[in-house]
C-alpha cells in the first residue's frame, strides 16, 4: 500500500475519491427527480396524457379548457361552524371569483347537453385565506387514483385512422379495472339538467373538517342549485349552454346552496370513484350567489388556479390520492399556460349571441 | 506544513447546518416537482417553511461572515483556482438568497395564498398577482435550483480535491478540531 501511495494507482484512487461525492449526489438527484424511473406518474406525464386526448392548445387550461369567468359572493349560515372554524362557515359574506367550464382540453369544443360541466370557485376570506374548489356535475370521479386517470386518458386517446378511441384499448382498460365498473354505471346513468344554471356540482374528492375541539369530520360537499326550473334543452349553437347561462344570470342572480355530506362508517373517504351510502347526515352550510359573467380574456378567473388543496384553516385534505394529483398537475398546467401567449376564448359574454358571427371588435353592453 | 487556520465555530455550525438543510431542500424540491402524491402535499408544506428558515439562515450567515472573516485560501493555490473558489462561493451565497426569495415571489405572483404553518399562518405576498410573472418565476426557480445543485456538486468535489489531492487542510478548516485561540478562531497544527 505505502509503496503505491504516491504512485499512479494511489493517485487514481484519490481522484476517484474526489469524483465520488459529485457522482453520488448526481445519481441521488436523478433518482429523486424521477429520471431513473420512466414509468413514474408525474404532473408532466399527466399533462402529456391529457394532451394525447385533446391535443395542444397553448395558453388554455390543460383540462376544462372552455369556460367563462363568474363573480359573486358566498354567505355562510353558521350551521357548520361547530365542525370547523373555516371562514366560509361563519356568517360573514365573502367575495367569490369563479369559473364555469366544460370538461376536456378542447377550448373551442361545441356545447352539448351530455358534456360534463364544472364550477370552480375561489372564496376569498379574511387575512388572505382562501377556499378554492373545482366541482363537477357528475356523481363520482371515473377513477380512484392518478395512475388510473393517466391510464384512462391513454386508453381513450383517439387513434389517427378513425379520430376515435380504440375500442379494444377502452375495453382493455375496463377489463383491467373491474372495480371502476360501478363508477362507470353511475356516470352513464347520471341525470342531466338543461344547463349550467340549474346543475348540481360535487366536490367528488373528500376533505376533513377540523373542529377547534380537535374533532375531525370527513366530508364531501356539493353546490345545489336554487334554480330547479328545468328549461328546455339549449339550442344547437356552438356556445348554446354558455349563452343560456348568460341569459339566466342576466335575468337574476343565480344561487346555490353549499351542502356538506358527513361520511358514514362505510363511506370511502379515500376513493372518489365510489358513491357514498346516500343515508349520510347533511348540513346546509351557506349560500353562493353569482351575479355576473366575464370573458376569460382579461377576466379575474383566468389568472387563478382552482387548486382544491388551497384550503382555509379548519379544512384539511383527506387521504384521497386524486386530490394531491390535482393540486400538483394544476400547478404545472398553470405555470405552462401562463408562459404562453394569451389566447382568445371561445365564449365572450360581452358579445350577444346574434352578434357572434365572427366579429372581432366587441363593445361591452352589460354593466358588470 | 503550515498550521491550519480554522473557520470560526459559528461559521462551521452555520455551514454544516445549511449544507444538510439545503440538500434536503433540493432533494425534496426535485422529488415533489415530479410527484403526484401521496407525499406531495406534505412535502410542499415542508418545503415552504424550510425555505423561509434557509432565507433567515443565509442572512444570519452573511452577518456572521462580516464578524468572522473566513481564513485565507492557501498561498500556493494557482490563481485560476483561487478565482474559481471565490466566484463559486459568492455564487453559492447569491443562489442561497435568491431561491427562497423567488419561491416566495412566484407564489405571490401566482395568486396563491402562502401558508407557513397549517392554513392559518400566511406569508404576505412579495409581488402583485401577475400570472405571466408567475410562469417565468416558476421556471426560474427550477433552473436556479439546478444551478445550485450543480454548484454544490462542484463544491463537494473541490473540498475532496483539497483533501485528497492537494492535502492543504482547506477541508479540515471547515470540519474543525483543535483548541480555541484567544481571538475566538480555532487553530491546530496539521501533520
Facing residue for A304 by CB, picked from B38, B111, B156: B111
User: Hey, are the CB atoms on B122 and A17 less than 8 Å from each other?
Assistant: no
Between CA A364 and CA A97 the distance in angstroms is 20
Q: DSSP for A126-181, please give it.
A: GGG-EEEEEEESSSS-S-SSHHHHHHHHHHSPBPTTTSSB-HHHHHHHHHH-GGGH
Q: What is the pLDDT of residue A354?
A: 52
Q: Is the pTM of this model over 0.90?
A: yes
What value does the mean pLDDT of chain A take? 92
User: Hey, are the CB atoms on B135 and A328 less than 8 Å from each other?
Assistant: no
Q: Which residues contact B167 (CB under 8 A, 6 or more apart)?
A: none
Q: CATH topology for B4-72+83-179?
A: Fumarate Reductase Cytochrome B subunit (1.20.950)
Between CA A340 and CA A148 the distance in angstroms is 29
User: B114 with B107: CB under 8 angstroms?
Assistant: yes
Instruction: State mean pLDDT over A230-238.
Output: 72
**Chain B residues with CB inside 8 Å of A33's CB?**
30-31, 33-34
In A264-328, beta strands by DSSP E: 282-294, 315-317
Percent of chain A scored above 90 by pLDDT?
A: 88
Whether residue A323 lies within 8 A of chain B, CB to CB, comes out as: yes
User: Hey, are the CB atoms on A29 and B161 less than 8 Å from each other?
Assistant: no
* Count of helices and strands (H, E) across chain A: 8, 10
User: Hey, are the CB atoms on B156 and A25 less than 8 Å from each other?
Assistant: yes
Residues of B with CB under 8 A from a CB of A: 23, 26-27, 30-38, 40-41, 44, 110-113, 118-120, 122, 124-125, 129-132, 134-136, 138-139, 149, 152-154, 156-157, 159-161, 164-165
pLDDT of residue A357 exceeding 50, the answer is no
Q: What is the pLDDT of residue A353?
A: 60
Between CA A99 and CA B158 the distance in angstroms is 54
Longest alpha-carbon distance in chain A: 95
Q: Residue ranges of the domains in chain B?
A: 4-72+83-179
State which residue of chain A sits closest to B154, comparing Cα positions. Answer: A22
**Of the ranges A249-263, A306-320, A343-357, which one carries the lowest mean pLDDT score?**
A343-357
How many contacts (CB atoms, under 8 Å) link A and B?
A: 132
Q: What is the pLDDT of residue B120?
A: 85
User: A271 with B73: CB under 8 angstroms?
Assistant: no
For residue A28, give the C-alpha cell. 441521488
Q: Best mutation site among A12, A338, A340 for testing chain B: the one with the most B CBs within 10 Å?
A: A338
- Smallest CA–CA distance, residue A355 to chain B, in Å, is 31
The string of pLDDT tens digits covering residues B78-93 is: 999 999 999 999 999 9
Q: What is the pLDDT of residue A260?
A: 98
User: Hey, are the CB atoms on B132 and A42 less than 8 Å from each other?
Assistant: no
**Chain A residues with CB inside 8 Å of B112's CB?**
305, 307, 310
pLDDT of residue A154 exceeding 90, the answer is yes
Facing residue for A22 by CB, picked from B44, B122, B157: B157
* Of the candidates A249, A307, A79, A55, the residue with the CA atom closest to the CA atom of residue B115: A307
Residues in chain B: 191
What value does the mean pLDDT of chain B take? 92
- Smallest CA–CA distance, residue B149 to chain A, in Å, is 9
Facing residue for A329 by CB, picked from B36, B38, B118: B36
For residue A126, give the C-alpha cell. 379574511
The string of pLDDT tens digits covering residues A70-123 is: 999 999 999 999 999 999 999 999 999 999 999 999 999 999 988 999 999 999
**Of the ranges A34-38, A111-115, A345-349, which one carries the lowest mean pLDDT score?**
A111-115
- DSSP reduced 3-state for A80: coil
User: Hey, are the CB atoms on A28 and B27 less than 8 Å from each other?
Assistant: yes
- Smallest CA–CA distance, residue A321 to chain B, in Å, is 6
Between CA B9 and CA B14 the distance in angstroms is 9
Annotated catalytic sites of A, by residue? 64
**Of the ranges A217-231, A276-290, B145-159, which one carries the lowest mean pLDDT score?**
A217-231
* pLDDT tier at B191, thresholds 50, 70, 90: very low
Instruction: State mean pLDDT over B34-61.
Output: 97
User: A138 with A116: CB under 8 angstroms?
Assistant: yes
**Chain B residues with CB inside 8 Å of A214's CB?**
none
pLDDT of residue A229 exceeding 90, the answer is no
Judge residue A265's burial from the number of C-beta atoms within 10 Å of its C-beta, 0-12 exposed, 13-18 middle, 19 or more buried.
Answer: exposed
Whether residue A327 lies within 8 A of chain B, CB to CB, comes out as: yes
Q: Residue ranges of the domains in chain A?
A: 41-352
User: A157 with A165: CB under 8 angstroms?
Assistant: yes
* pLDDT tier at A195, thresholds 50, 70, 90: very high
CA separation, residue B89 to residues A290, B53, B94, B167 (Å): 55, 20, 9, 20
Q: CATH topology for A41-352?
A: Catalase HpII,  Chain A, domain 1 (2.40.180)
Q: How far apart are the first and last CA of chain A?
A: 85
**Chain B residues with CB inside 8 Å of A60's CB?**
none
- Using omega within 30 degrees of 0 as the cis cutoff, is the peptide bond preceding B65 cis? no
* A 126-165 residues inside an 8 A Cβ radius of B: 127-130, 146
**Of the ranges A173-177, A322-326, B185-189, which one carries the lowest mean pLDDT score?**
B185-189
Percent of chain B scored above 70 by pLDDT?
A: 91
pLDDT of residue B179 exceeding 60, the answer is no
Q: What is the pLDDT of residue A360?
A: 39
pLDDT of residue A201 exceeding 90, the answer is yes
pLDDT of residue A356 exceeding 90, the answer is no
**Chain B residues with CB inside 8 Å of A323's CB?**
37, 41
Amino acid at each position: 500500500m505505502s509503496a503505491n501511495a504516491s504512485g499512479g494507482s494511489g493517485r487514481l484512487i484519490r481522484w476517484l475519491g474526489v469524483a465520488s461525492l459529485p457522482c453520488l449526489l448526481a445519481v441521488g438527484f436523478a433518482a429523486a427527480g424521477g429520471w431513473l424511473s420512466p414509468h413514474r406518474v408525474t404532473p408532466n406525464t399527466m399533462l402529456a396524457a391529457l394532451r394525447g386526448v385533446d391535443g395542444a392548445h397553448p395558453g388554455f387550461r390543460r383540462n376544462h379548457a372552455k369556460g367563462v369567468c363568474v363573480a359573486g359572493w358566498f354567505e355562510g349560515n353558521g350551521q357548520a361552524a361547530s365542525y370547523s372554524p373555516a371562514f366560509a362557515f361563519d356568517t360573514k359574506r365573502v367575495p367569490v371569483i369563479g369559473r364555469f367550464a366544460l370538461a376536456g382540453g378542447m377550448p373551442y369544443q361545441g356545447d352539448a347537453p351530455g358534456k360534463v360541466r364544472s364550477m370552480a370557485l375561489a372564496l376569498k376570506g379574511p387575512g388572505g385565506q382562501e377556499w378554492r374548489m373545482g366541482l363537477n356535475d357528475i356523481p363520482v370521479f371515473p377513477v380512484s387514483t392518478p395512475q388510473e386517470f393517466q391510464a384512462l386518458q391513454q386508453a381513450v386517446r383517439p387513434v389517427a385512422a378513425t379520430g376515435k378511441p380504440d375500442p379494444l384499448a377502452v375495453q382493455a382498460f375496463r377489463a383491467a379495472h373491474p372495480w371502476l365498473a360501478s363508477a362507470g354505471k353511475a356516470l352513464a346513468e347520471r341525470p342531466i339538467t338543461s344547463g349550467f344554471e340549474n346543475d348540481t356540482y360535487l366536490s367528488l374528492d373528500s376533505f376533513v373538517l377540523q373542529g377547534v375541539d380537535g374533532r375531525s369530520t370527513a366530508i364531501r360537499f356539493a353546490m345545489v342549485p336554487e334554480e330547479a326550473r328545468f328549461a328546455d334543452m339549449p339550442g344547437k349553437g356552438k356556445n348554446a349552454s354558455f349563452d343560456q347561462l348568460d341569459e339566466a344570470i342576466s335575468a337574476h342572480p343565480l344561487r346555490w346552496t353549499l351542502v356538506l355530506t358527513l361520511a358514514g362508517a362505510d363511506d370511502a373517504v379515500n376513493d372518489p370513484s365510489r358513491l357514498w351510502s346516500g343515508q349520510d347526515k347533511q348540513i346546509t352550510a351557506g349560500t353562493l350567489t353569482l351575479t355576473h359573467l366575464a370573458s376569460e380574456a382579461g377576466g379575474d378567473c383566468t389568472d387563478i388556479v382552482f387548486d382544491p388543496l388551497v384550503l382555509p384553516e379548519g379544512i384539511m385534505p383527506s387521504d384521497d390520492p386524486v386530490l394531491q394529483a390535482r393540486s400538483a398537475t394544476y400547478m404545472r398546467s398553470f405555470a405552462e399556460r401562463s408562459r404562453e401567449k394569451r389566447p382568445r376564448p371561445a365564449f365572450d359574454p360581452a358579445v350577444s349571441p346574434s352578434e357572434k358571427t365572427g366579429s372581432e371588435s366587441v363593445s361591452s353592453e352589460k354593466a358588470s | 506544513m503550515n498550521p491550519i487556520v480554522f473557520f470560526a465555530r459559528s461559521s462551521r455550525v452555520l455551514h454544516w447546518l445549511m449544507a444538510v438543510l439545503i440538500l434536503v431542500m433540493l432533494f425534496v424540491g426535485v422529488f415533489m416537482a415530479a410527484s403526484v402524491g401521496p407525499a406531495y402535499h406534505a412535502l410542499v408544506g415542508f418545503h415552504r417553511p424550510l425555505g423561509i428558515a434557509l432565507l433567515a439562515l443565509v442572512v444570519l450567515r452573511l452577518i456572521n461572515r462580516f464578524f468572522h472573516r473566513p481564513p485565507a485560501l492557501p498561498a500556493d493555490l494557482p490563481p485560476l483556482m483561487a478565482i474559481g473558489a471565490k466566484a463559486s462561493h459568492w455564487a453559492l451565497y447569491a443562489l442561497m438568497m435568491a431561491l427562497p426569495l423567488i419561491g416566495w415571489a412566484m407564489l405571490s405572483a401566482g395568486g396563491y395564498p402562502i401558508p407557513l404553518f397549517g392554513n392559518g399562518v400566511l406569508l404576505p405576498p412579495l409581488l402583485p398577482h401577475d400570472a405571466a410573472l408567475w410562469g417565468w418565476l416558476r421556471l426560474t426557480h427550477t433552473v436556479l435550483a439546478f444551478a445550485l445543485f450543480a454548484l454544490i456538486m462542484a463544491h463537494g468535489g473541490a473540498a475532496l480535491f483539497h483533501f485528497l489531492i492537494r492535502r492543504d487542510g482547506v477541508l479540515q478548516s471547515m470540519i474543525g478540531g483543535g483548541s480555541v485561540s484567544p481571538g475566538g478562531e480555532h487553530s491546530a497544527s496539521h501533520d
